[in-house]
Amino acid sequence: MLPDTIQKFIQIFSRLPSIGPRQATRLAFRLIGWGPARIAELGRVMSGLANVKICKQCFFVHTNENTICPICADTHRAQDIFMIVEKETDLISIERTGKYAGKYLILGELTKSGALDENHARRIEVFKNILTSLPDKKAREIIIGLNPSTYGDLYTYTLTKELTPYTKKITRLGRGIPTGGEIEFADEDTLGHSLERRV
Amino acid sequence: MLPDTIQKFIQIFSRLPSIGPRQATRLAFRLIGWGPARIAELGRVMSGLANVKICKQCFFVHTNENTICPICADTHRAQDIFMIVEKETDLISIERTGKYAGKYLILGELTKSGALDENHARRIEVFKNILTSLPDKKAREIIIGLNPSTYGDLYTYTLTKELTPYTKKITRLGRGIPTGGEIEFADEDTLGHSLERRV
């Protein structure tokens, strides 16, 4: 019934997070309605993402010449203080507070299971290598900045156990953020307080 | 904070139906995580949509050489019976019943207002021209196949008034479909019954 090009589109776009076959179908028809010029523009914008690199240290995105992002390359930031966040948008929210001047580790998407997957484990290994390469062989402080939810707490527990040998101090963001909420949605003031009152 | 390429992506993809800035941001990071090869594949699949044409008669999608779709070009179908549907996915659902052998008009997305917009009006003009070009200068039957919802009923009322001079008979799909439901979700049997018992 549908041309192959549309079926292929639906098949591939259905695999994207929170887009099912039904939304992908609607997307296809909406795009076709937009006409070839705008479809071409979307295609170009999408291909542009292929040039984005992932930082070898903190795993944030960047388009620098070298392998690390501007945050990791910034010598004015504390080199021995680290915040572990789940995702890129959490890092952006923390940066917007203007109250944090250390480095980051983006752990990658967490699951409700609370168990570290292969990707998390790989990033934690990279992180441990960074910590043991510090002048003191340890971090001055690691702030665990995961969502204050049941599974966030599980991950926080696991990470604390895992990283205690690698740091002088481990803290968590203060519970200014309402329990069950998400970092990405917190306003800058609340996030700022949770940084100041970390426990 | 974010590279320009990502910001551009978020800006453009936020305009797609039911994708807000937040989901577009997540999409961007997910795609980047997939790596350049799969991003390129997505870009190709998206560009493929630029080759899809829209039928000059019924407004369904096709990739034929000429300007009309395989359904409109099919001489085995009744040339003077028409069903008006809201969207492409409704047409697909009706075709799957195998119980309809007339032609279509895809009206385009309806709004809760119940008022015909410029796009609807343009398609109705095209439709009227098709009807007055028939040997009898009129359709034998027009079936209004809009969702059996409050605004669907409003549109059905408007279309009936608008099209009565152009057809010998106007019917609606039988209310085998539960009121408030959507055609796209109805199973083939229910849809088949609603075709057989149209009123």
- pLDDT at residue number A138: 96
Cβ-Cβ contacts under 8 Å, B7 against chain A: none
Q: Which of residues 112-171 of B touch A (CB under 8 A)?
A: none
Asked if B80 and B136 touch (Cβ cutoff 8 Å), the reply is yes
Contact A63 B5 (CB under 8 A): yes
> Which residue of A5, A59, A72, A106 to mutate against B (max B Cβ within 10 Å)?
A5
Tell me how close the Cα of B90 comes to any Cα of chain A, in angstroms. 11
Q: Using one digit for the tens of pLDDT, what is the confidence trace for B18-27?
A: 788 888 898 8
pTM (2 decimals)?
Answer: 0.70
Q: Please name the amino acid found at residue A25.
A: T
Q: What is the mean pLDDT of residues B66-70?
A: 92
Taking an 8 Å cut-off on Cβ atoms, the answer to whether B45 and A16 are in contact is no
- What are the b/e assignments for A135-153, b being 16+ CB within 10 Å? eeebbebbbbbbbbeeebb
Structure tokens at B180: 């408030």
Q: Report pLDDT for A196.
A: 79
What is the spatial distance between Cα A109 and Cα B26, in angstroms, rounded to a whole number? 11
Across the interface, whether the CB atoms of B5 and A62 are under 8 A apart is answered no
What's the CA gap between B119 and B102, in Å, rounded? 23
Percent of chain B with pLDDT over 70: 99
Asked if B46 lies within 8 A of A61 by C-beta distance, the reply is no
Distances (CA, A) of A7 to A22, A42, B108: 12, 18, 20
In this complex, is the C-beta atom of B36 within 8 Å of any C-beta atom belonging to chain A?
Answer: yes
Contacts of B32 in chain A (CB under 8 A): 49, 52, 54, 61
CB of A17 closer than 8 Å to CB of B17: no
Chain A residues with CB-CB distance to B1 below 8 A: 92, 95-96
Closest Cα in chain B to A4: B63
Residue of B nearest to A92 (CA): B1
**Per-residue pLDDT tens digits of chain A, which is 199 residues long:** 788 999 999 998 888 877 888 888 988 998 898 888 989 888 888 888 988 999 999 999 999 888 999 999 999 999 999 999 999 999 999 998 889 999 999 999 998 888 999 999 999 999 999 999 999 999 999 999 998 788 888 999 999 999 999 999 999 888 677 777 787 888 787 788 777 777 6
Mean pLDDT computed over B132-150: 93
Interface contact flag, B46 A50, Cβ < 8 Å: no
Query: Does residue B68 surpass a pLDDT of 70?
Result: yes
CB crowding B106-142: b at 16 or more within 10 Å, else e: bbbebeeeeebeeebeebbeebeebbeeeeeebbebb
